[in-house]
Amino acid sequence: MAEIIEITDLEMPELKPYTDTSELELKNADTPMFIAESPKVIRTALGSGYEPISLLTERKYIDGQAKDIIEKCGDIPVYTASSQQLTALTGYKLTQGVLCAMKRKRLPKAEYILAKSVRVAVLEDVMNQTNIGAVFRSAAALGFDAVLLTPSSSDPLFRRSVRVSMGTVFQLPWTYLENGSPDYIGELRNAGFVTAAMALRRDTIKINDPRLASVDRLAVLLGTEGEGLKDETIDSCDYTIKIPMSHGVDSLNVAAASAVAFWQLGKHD
């Protein structure tokens, strides 16, 4: 049974994960952790096997929207206070009233994920957490099996990415590739994947080209905001693909482009 603890001191060391502590510090702590926010996201994480460390919730939610979460979490501390106190503690207003500190899982090797996948999204040096979360959500919804990231990309378990993904970062397999651009292309090829770079070039094929639909195992590569994929990455890929545009628009941002690509190139039932 969970231990309900009324917060009387905002400086309690047990509350440090919920303060404005750097998310990178939480990731690199002795017990690597992250913060899941909102009941829906927390339930998804629990259902995907993530282990809770503690909960932070408004007092009124203990017998409300956090009740089933508290029951599922078992014997962990549940810290509670008023909305005003929690705002003072975290530095922002909790829109849905519940946070959960959770242990990180050990990430699998990319080769393990690739062996079990036929459609993968690859994010090269993507740093914007909102875009990462949106890419995960689209990949999960539109028929992709996994997301791989280059070492310079941001962390999908940072709070904003988790929130934007609506918890799909817990459901979709993901990991970091060992190499940066363009060396990671070899990792994909060795696993039997055809590589398709999304880029604005003249030597492109349309995203609905029949050659792409016939590929058994396909990796779709998306680049960082603004600059896109590196030239050496594009040059190393089997195909360069683009989404046909209208009204003089030359491109979509990486989150929107990924949704179009995943719908067109995903494996649908």
Model pLDDT for residues 34-67, shown as the tens digit of each residue? 999 989 999 999 999 999 999 999 888 999 889 9
- pLDDT (0 to 100) of residue 234: 95
Strand, helix or coil for residue 40:
helix
The answer, yes or no, to whether residue 102 has pLDDT greater than 90, is yes
DSSP letter string, 66-86 = THHHHHHH-SSEEEEE-HHHH
The residue-averaged pLDDT of 239-257 equals 86
Q: What is the mean pLDDT of the chain?
A: 91
The residue-averaged pLDDT of 102-115 equals 96
- pLDDT (0 to 100) of residue 20: 64
Q: Please, which residues have CB within 8 angstroms of residue 41's CB and are 6 or more apart in sequence?
A: 162, 163, 166, 167
pTM of the model as a whole? 0.91
Please state, for a pLDDT cut of 90, what percent of the chain lies above it. 69
The amino acid sitting at 207 is I
CA dihedral 162, 164, 167, 171 (to 10 degrees): -90
- Conformation bin of residue 226: beta by default, left when phi > 0, alpha when psi is -120 to 50: left
In terms of Cα–Cα distance, which of 225, 223, 205, 224 is closest to 215?
205
The answer, yes or no, to whether residue 250 has pLDDT greater than 80, is no
- pLDDT (0 to 100) of residue 237: 96
Surface-to-core class of residue 182, CB atoms within 10 Å of its CB (0-12 exposed, 13-18 middle, 19+ buried)? middle
Surface-to-core class of residue 183, CB atoms within 10 Å of its CB (0-12 exposed, 13-18 middle, 19+ buried)? middle
- pLDDT (0 to 100) of residue 268: 62
In the chain, which residues fall in CATH 3.40.1280.10? 110-265
In terms of Cα–Cα distance, which of 147, 33, 11 is closest to 99?
33
Starting from the edge strand earliest in sequence, which strands make up the sheet with 77-81, in order?
3-6, 77-81, 52-58, 98-103, 33-37
The answer, yes or no, to whether residue 194 has pLDDT greater than 90, is yes
- pLDDT (0 to 100) of residue 246: 86
Pairing of strands 98-103, 33-37: antiparallel
Residue 269 binned pLDDT confidence (cut-offs 50, 70, 90): low
In the chain, which residues fall in CATH 3.30.1330.30? 3-103
Surface-to-core class of residue 76, CB atoms within 10 Å of its CB (0-12 exposed, 13-18 middle, 19+ buried)? middle
Weakest-pLDDT range from 1-15, 30-44, 253-267: 1-15
- CATH number of the domain at 110-265, please? 3.40.1280.10
Pairing of strands 218-222, 194-198: parallel
The residue-averaged pLDDT of 223-240 equals 91
Q: Which backbone phi and psi does 4 adopt, to 5 degrees?
A: -80, 120
Query: What are the tens digits of pLDDT across the range 112-137?
Result: 999 999 999 999 999 999 999 999 99
Query: What are the tens digits of pLDDT across the range 124-176?
Result: 999 999 999 999 999 999 999 999 999 999 999 998 999 999 999 999 999 99
CA-to-CA dists, residue 195 to 180, 188, 233, 240, 243, angstroms: 15, 7, 10, 9, 16
Strand, helix or coil for residue 240:
strand
The answer, yes or no, to whether residue 95 has pLDDT greater than 70, is no
Homologous superfamily of 3-103: Ribosomal protein L30/S12 (3.30.1330.30)
- pLDDT (0 to 100) of residue 91: 79
The residue-averaged pLDDT of 211-234 equals 92
